[in-house]
A and B are shown apart, each in its own frame.
Chain A
Amino acid sequence: EVQLVESGGGLVQPGGSLRLSCTTSGFTFSSTWMHWVRQAPGKGLVWVSRINTDGSSTSYADSVKGRFTISRDSAENTMYLQMNSLRDEDTAVYYCVRYNSGWYWGQGTLVTVSS
């Protein structure tokens, strides 16, 4: 069974940092591109970032470019999202997502940016 488990969310002040993790199982992590998608409270879904199989290629939404860094550790079957210079508008549930003959989502982790 494919499992994606996010962790690392919490309350952080504006300008602060947070690192999210997505621990995976049930599939060959090293062969799969991975994504982060977020959803602000009461709003729609927004794609944030993606990383290729070996981490050599990444892309970001304009709203997070230069502040967020996606990475992965195939030995740990884990993907990360380092979030720096956080803003109020980064408040959202962050989902870890993979695509392989369909999209698979984690349960999400809530990030709240507030003073």
Chain B
Amino acid sequence: DIQMTQSPSSLSASVGDRVTITCRASQGINNYLAWFQQKPGKAPKSLIYAASNLQSGVPSKFSGSGSGTDFTLTISSLQPEDIATYYCQQYKTYPLTFGGGTKVEIK
């Protein structure tokens, strides 16, 4: 199975800060990488697919980059509504696998 390692596992940042989350795959996955946002008690919401494509309706402050094994999700200007846990997922190979999550908080 492909292991997905996210870092950091949690972070605290100020409103307006640029926030970057990284995700590393244990083997190459081309660009078959998605990012999700999950708020407490809610279903995950898709942000990015194919590593860098913004899902319809998602604000442009979210961006993704990377290919192969190393990927990043960036929030350009952190706002209180961005408080959530963020997950990466590879969908190149079954079983599909997720990173362990990054909990984002406001400082």
Contact = CB atoms under 8 A, between A and B. Distances in A.
A103 B46 contact: yes
Interface of A is mostly: strand
Interface in B56-94: 56, 87, 89, 91, 94
Interface in B9-57: 34, 36, 38, 43-46, 49, 53, 55-56
Interface in A40-55: 44-47, 50
Interface residues of A, number: 20
20 contacts: A37-B96, A44-B98, A44-B101, A45-B101, A46-B98, A47-B98, A50-B94, A61-B95, A62-B95, A99-B91, A101-B49, A102-B34, A102-B53, A102-B56, A103-B34, A103-B36, A105-B43, A105-B46, A106-B43, A108-B43
Interface of A: 35, 37, 44-47, 50, 59, 61-62, 95, 99, 101-108
